[in-house]
Structure 1
Amino acid sequence: MSNPFEGMGDDEKEYQKVVSDNVNKRMEGAMNDLKNKYSEGRGGDDMGDNGPTGDAYQKHQAMQKKRADTARQAKNASKKAEADMIKAQRENMASNNQDEESEDEYDDLLDELDADPEMEALRAKRISNMRQQQMDRAENIAKGHGTYRLITQDEFLDQVTTSKWVALHFFHKEFERCKIMDHHLQLIAPVHVECKFINIDAEKCPFFVQKLQVKTLPTLVIFCDGVVVDRLTGFQEMAVDPLEPDKWHTSRLQAWIASTGAIKFAMPTEEIRKEMEKMGITPRGTIWSTKHAHADEDEEFD
């Protein structure tokens, strides 16, 4: 091995030796510092496959990995829960044609004043009420609300007692006025899911016809928690023109049902009607119109 100082003068040799010793001491100190650092588990990930493998370092790395995995799992779980909640809300809000209005109202609430604590509390309460209404709505739809359905005598008790509010129409398939009642109830049922709307053939349920003393058709019976609270016999209070007793708007039947407490509805005033006309809004419902002859009076049922 050749002498690195060969050919140098004494002064130059002495200088180079001092520099070499100094560099060697620094390298030795750095190596010792690095060794102590990793032996205490304070090493980094920058050394790759050549990194230290001491017990303290391995424990430190395992702990760091565990923390990262836990944080990632928690983040994923949070995202999934948020996505599920949004999906459930959208599904509930898409259940019928009123849901778009509810979503707009929900967004409006979120855009209200957020600096005033009282406004925040009021907004939180309103949002809570809206969520409860959506839950009640979904529960009612699951019980058959939102549609107008035919039931049998065997289904009577189950259908009448499992919902808080029920409107039951006793009909006869050959009576014209029963068809008129069906027409209006079919329009009301999807709008007022707070009440279940059903009908039953009076000829096929003699027990309940006798039990409820149904003698005239059509008869609309309102139940609350399975108990009769009111009934509409024939078209009492419905007709506007005595000369045309069968021609009345659906809203008149809505108003009568609302008077029992079964649904929420208020008959628009003349002023409101005019404003609605200006905005091109037409009240839901129709006036019965048919070419078939109709009876002048309600049908007696024996």
Structure 2
Amino acid sequence: MAAQQEVVANIIQQQVLKAAEIIEERLDEEIKTLDDLKGDDIEKLREKRLLQLKKEAKKRQEYLAKGHGEYNELGDEKQFFDVVKKSSNVVIHFYRDCTPRCKIVDHHLKILAKRHLETRFCKILADRCLFLAEKLKIRVIPTLALIKDSNAKDYIVGFTELGNCDDFSTDMLEWRIARSSVIDYEGDLLNAPDKKKVGKPDGNIHSKNSRNLRNSESDLDD
């Protein structure tokens, strides 16, 4: 038994040393590449980086001018269509003051609006836009409409896909929105941040709390 453990330890040690050698070789190559750069090459890299930063700053200013970076309320349907026309990516929360879970959504969307400047986050009172709600087939409150290039691409209805609970994380909602490609996301789209709550990558939830969830949400038809 001891002999087997020693063999395994030696194999692991050899693998670690090999990995270290590979990393060292890559570092040497990068250092050599930098050393080989001439003054003109360094200046070109600097100019390229400055140009990239200027483009990013300009894009940021454009986003801010359109209302990105903040979570705002829209007054009516006309304002909604103006937002959708100006911004390629929009997340809009259809809410009601009498629905407690809408406050939970508000909390998370305020955070995500600052985290994802590339997307416009806003909300609208469902009772104030019945034509729009009917057009988008909004039936349950809260509902998030995920809009890309003026098309309603997806909906997040209630909290079912967020773990069927009130204490889901902001990261969980971010992941679910990202699956519709309306925000830039660097995480794993196939695995939810709260795996224990979701269970399956497709987001289908079967929970004992489903009845309570329906009771705490409101039906727009009512």
Structure 2 length-normalised TM: 0.66
**Whole-angstrom distance in 2 between the partners of 1:259 and 1:119:** 40
- 1:149 aligns with 72
- 1:296 aligns with 213
Aligned residues: 162
Q: Are the structure 2 counterparts of residues 296 and 261 from structure 1 closer, same or farther at C-alpha, using a change threshold of 3 Å?
A: closer
**Whole-angstrom distance in 1 between the partners of 2:97 and 2:151:** 26
**Whole-angstrom distance in 2 between the partners of 1:263 and 1:237:** 18
- 1:232 aligns with 156
Query: 1:251, 1:267 within 8 Å by CA — same for their partners in 2?
Result: no
Task: Map Cα deviations across residues 210-258 of structure 1 (whole Å, 9 max, x no partner).
Answer: 010000111111112211111111113211xx5xx11111011111222
**Whole-angstrom distance in 1 between the partners of 2:156 and 2:125:** 17
Query: 1:189, 1:196 within 8 Å by CA — same for their partners in 2?
Result: yes
Offset of residue 156 of structure 1? 1.5
Q: Does 1:161 align with 2:51?
A: no
- 1:263 aligns with 183
- 1:126 aligns with 49
Task: Map Cα deviations across residues 10-57 of structure 1 (whole Å, 9 max, x no partner).
Answer: xxxxxxxxxxxxxxxxxxxxxxxxxxxxxxxxxxxxxxxxxxxxxxxx
Task: Map Cα deviations across residues 185-226 of structure 1 (whole Å, 9 max, x no partner).
Answer: 011112211111110000110010001000011111111221
Q: Are the structure 2 counterparts of residues 136 and 209 from structure 1 closer, same or farther at C-alpha, using a change threshold of 3 Å?
A: same
- 1:248 aligns with 168
Q: Which has the higher strand share?
A: 2
- The more displaced of 124-133 and 159-168 is 124-133
Report which of the two structures shows the higher radius of gyration computed on alpha carbons.
1
Structure 1 length-normalised TM: 0.49
Task: Map Cα deviations across residues 109-151 of structure 1 (whole Å, 9 max, x no partner).
Answer: xxx8763655554443333222211111101101111111111
Task: Map Cα deviations across residues 30-87 of structure 1 (whole Å, 9 max, x no partner).
Answer: xxxxxxxxxxxxxxxxxxxxxxxxxxxxxxxxxxxxxxxxxxxxxxxxxxxxxxxxxx
Offset of residue 300 of structure 1? 2.0
Tell me how large the CA RMSD over aligned residues is: 2.3
Task: Map Cα deviations across residues 242-279 of structure 1 (whole Å, 9 max, x no partner).
Answer: 5xx111110111112222222223348xxxx9xxxxxx
User: Which ranges of structure 1 fall in alignment gaps of 5 or more residues?
Assistant: 1-111, 274-294
- 1:88 aligns with none
Identity of aligned residues (%): 33
**Whole-angstrom distance in 2 between the partners of 1:225 and 1:125:** 30
**Larger relative contact order (Cα-Cα within 8 Å, sequence gap ≥ 6):** 2
